[in-house]
Amino acid sequence: MPQEIFADGVRSAGDLAGVFEYDGETGYFYLYRTNAVAGAKIADALPVVSGPIDFMADDISIRWDRSEMKIALFINSVMWAAFDCSSGQKLGGNYTTNGKPRIPADFTFVTSSRQ
């Protein structure tokens, strides 16, 4: 049976979360509104992977930047997908083994010292 992965990172205000979900076939990174009504919780989504994966749940981390306006999905410590909550921009996705993320070099993401 294919491995399933679920990981999340909730903003300190508790209103938004980044969620990665892999069901054994496809994986998506979601920007999730924790306080929204059912049916309106997913604010945005990025396709991350389709098919078998070469990473485990322990290889996934979801981190907010210092301002808590950007959230990113890291696979093996490499940023593969991100949402900028202030601009509405979504970046990356489409993970491939030995590939390179498609996140522009000018996208700044500074984590706090607690992460």
Q: How far apart are CA 29 and CA 47, in angstroms?
A: 7
Q: pTM value?
A: 0.91
pLDDT at 2: 60
Confidence of residue 115 (pLDDT cuts 50, 70, 90): very low
pLDDT tens digits for range 28-64 = 999 999 999 988 999 999 999 999 999 999 999 999 9
Domain limits of the chain?
5-92
